[in-house]
Amino acid sequence: MRRTSLVLLAVIAMVLLVAQPAAAATPPNDSPSTAVEIRSIPFTYDQDTTGADANGPRFCGNNTSVFFRFTPSDPVRVQVDTIGSDYDTVLSVYTVDGGTNPVRCNDDRFGVASGVRFRALAGTTYYIMVAQCCGSGQSSGGGHLVLRVDEVSTEPLEATLEVATTGTYDPIGGSATIGGTITCSTVSYVGVEGILRQVRAGLYVARAYAWFQGLCEPGVGLSWSAEVDSETAYAFGSGDSRFTYWAGASDGFRQWVQLADRERMTIALRAA
């Protein structure tokens, strides 16, 4: 009996050991001394940061941090962002000359993606630290990081918004879905909001607030949509509805383009 129990315990222990998830590998750029070198821009880097430690300076945040370094041969205005990452990031830029010298720091410039701009001097090495929000000292978390480094564009931001003239409604739940497309000349954060209103049988009003935010990339554009439920006792159904909306686009820094200001249009709702 004792032998059987020992064998059973051994089998259970082996099963539990196999069932344990493998620890994420430590990224090669887990510390400033092993920072990935950015030899030229534009530069894009994808990596898994879930195995990173909490290394680096703490003037902005250093949870699960990874590092990059950039030494330009000529003066250049640089934009660094984490657009496309799947976790909440914090960006820090600093130099090392007799100590840590902060240059820029940001959290949540493009939604939960971070972004900074700075003027880089020729021959100076700039360290870029990407950490997970928020705080310092935690070595858990992270995710899929997309780091982009490029020269600041001198082109003015131009964007266009299209709202589709047809939408759909759910015959069972009564929700409505509207949408359209957005194009932009530079990477921008866009927002659309408005009130969707439908009068049914000349008497009953279905009404809802519609909202969308997203990132538009030049040459790719953005398809946007918003699914809404009526805030009244009456659901959306087949027929025309009126959409009154506002919209704008921003490069996240200094440029802002207003795409709509209380525009009104008719959207025909059809069964999904």
Summarize pLDDT for 92-113 with one digit per residue, the tens.
Answer: 999 998 889 999 999 988 888 8
Least confident piece of the model among 48-57, 63-72, 117-126, 230-239: 48-57
Q: How far apart are CA 63 and CA 130, in angstroms?
A: 9
The per-residue b/e assignment along 239-268, b for 16 or more CB within 10 angstroms, e otherwise, is eebebebebbbbbbeebebebbeeeeeebe
pLDDT per residue over 15-61, tens digit each?
444 444 455 788 899 999 999 999 999 999 999 999 888 888 889 88
**Residue 21 three-state SS:** coil
Residue 201 pLDDT class (50, 70, 90 cuts): confident
pLDDT at 12: 44
Q: Which domains does the chain have, with CATH numbers?
A: 24-151 (2.60.120.380), 159-271 (2.60.40)
pLDDT at 22: 52
Q: How far apart are CA 24 and CA 51, in angstroms?
A: 5
What value does the mean pLDDT take over residues 185-193? 91
**Residue 71 three-state SS:** coil
pLDDT per residue over 63-78, tens digit each?
889 999 999 999 999 9
- pTM greater than the 0.75 cutoff: no
pLDDT top residue among 27 and 12: 27
pLDDT at 18: 47
